[in-house]
Chain A
Amino acid sequence: MAAAEQTVEQVDLSRSTVRELNQRLHDAADGGPQSWRITHPNGLHAIGAGINAPLELEIDGHVGYYCVGMNKEATVRIHGNAGVGLAENIMSGTVTVDGDASQSAAATGRGGLVVVRGNAAARCGISMKGVNIVVEGNVGHLSGFMAQKGALVVCGDAGEALGDSIYETHIYVRGSVAELGADCIEKELGEFHTAELTGLLAEADVDANAADFRRYGSARKLYNFNIDNADAY
């Protein structure tokens, strides 16, 4: 086993199907290659979905929809762009995209870290529930919509309706915000949040100063925050 763990398993998706690859990645939870290099992803869907082991994955090229969805423990690096729903419902581990990510990156993510070196499109971190997201570029409209937990760090600009109907996620933006969503307000960047942000930037290997960011969060004024409405649920 020791020898197998040291070698890098190569999978060429122009020769093998995503279904075969994903089955092998799932089987690796019970032993087998721990380090993988995937070539010719060619925009295929659901590459590496459902990994449940501390594997190392390098993907050379652009991936399609729902890449490494539900990821648990694996460290994934995508040398290209990602399609809709990157690392959807990520549980833990780290997913890094060298290029851009399409809409709904890290949607509903419960844990782990997602790093986008380029821009993320609309709905980044929609309904996030504990994942941390660091975007070096910009994010599109409705990012952090109904975001419940975790942190969304945007080193560039944010589009319209940022943090609409947000719960307890911490949002940090260095650039401009086109428009804040309903019930999302700017908040003080205190000591706790500066430390959290500094830690996330370091973890994501981003050279930026926490003091240059502004923090946004929930005003907690929407209907669901009012105790008098508790009976309605």
Chain B
Amino acid sequence: MEPAPVYLDNNATTRCDPKVVEAMIPFFSEQFGNASSMHAFGAEVGGALAKARKQLQALLGAEFDHEIIYTSGGTEADNMAIMSALETQGDRDEIVTSAVEHPAVLSLVAHLEKTGRAKVHIIGVDAKGRLDMEAYRKALGPKTAIVSIMWANNETGTIFPVEQLAELAHQAGALFHTDAVQAAGKIPIDMATNEIDMLSLSGHKLHGPKGIGALYARKGTRLRPLIRGGHQERGRRAGTENAPAIIGLGKAAELAMEHMADEQTRVAGLRDRLEKGLLQQIGNSFVTGDPDNRLPNTANVAFEYIEGEAILLLMNRQGIAASSGSACTSGSLEPSHVLRAMNVPYTAAHGAIRFSFSRENGDADVDRVLEVMPEIIGKLREMSPFWRERDNQAFNPTYA
């Protein structure tokens, strides 16, 4: 019998929980009304949307439900937060962000800088992926419009001290935004007890549907819509509400709260057991990121002297799904910007594999990976000229 497939790429996307799908289904063909309409068809949808908003509000610990603005996903929420800040912050036109942000932030700020609309300060990280606090403090100033620093990194799981960072940003009079796409649903978030102004999240990273996300904007935060049109989301994000997806995200938020304790304990235990087992069985491998301060579900393990795409292809053949920061999987030719920012040597950066768990994983998944990985790594290392010559460095090719 074929072993069951093992899905360990939950930071890329999660399986939509069947309970979420069940909650969504009636809102396609049965309760299909437009919530804005003045009739019964619309009213019943409006009620369900209000409930969904309360569910997401609870996950975030937000004081008011109107602090939530639905978007098409995390990327739109990130774009909205940054673009809005540039419009509302007067003559402040500088952005402070980190070198390990998601492209949803980094590509945008690079474009804004290139087109002369903002000056951008990119703050570096140390070998564990922790923010350079000294550089951060120095970058903040009277011209800073907004700071955007992720709550947790998607590749390594490293958690940033966003609550402290927000306080520092406020001392400089800047807005603070955090991309919490990887954090939301995995670690507790309580917006009532911090100073963060804006927060982005995405439905499909927490067992909700794709194509839905939200921007949390604290009451009183001045906003400018990214998308203009109708009066939806109190005029802050136009377009007919994506009712099934919003309702699905609400259900996903409710389920994430139910499983929060499981995520911190059992899921973290699975991750730790996988990491320990891999490092024990496979030499010349190490964990990247900050082991003391990271998401409970993420393990990023670098296997030296081999290349990530080749590892993933062999894993895929065994029915195991994970991902890699390797250049060859992205088509960009450069290894992961996150690992490069952390100064992970090239000998390891190309062979870094991210295993990301969810509540749907179990012990059998860990067993299966531990069973096949040593052979996969061994096979590729046998083929690698760097592996054989790693001690005497006799392999030194003539061109680079």
Q: Do A and B bind each other?
A: no
- Measured CB to CB, the residues of A under 8 A from B are none
Measured CB to CB, the residues of B under 8 A from A are none
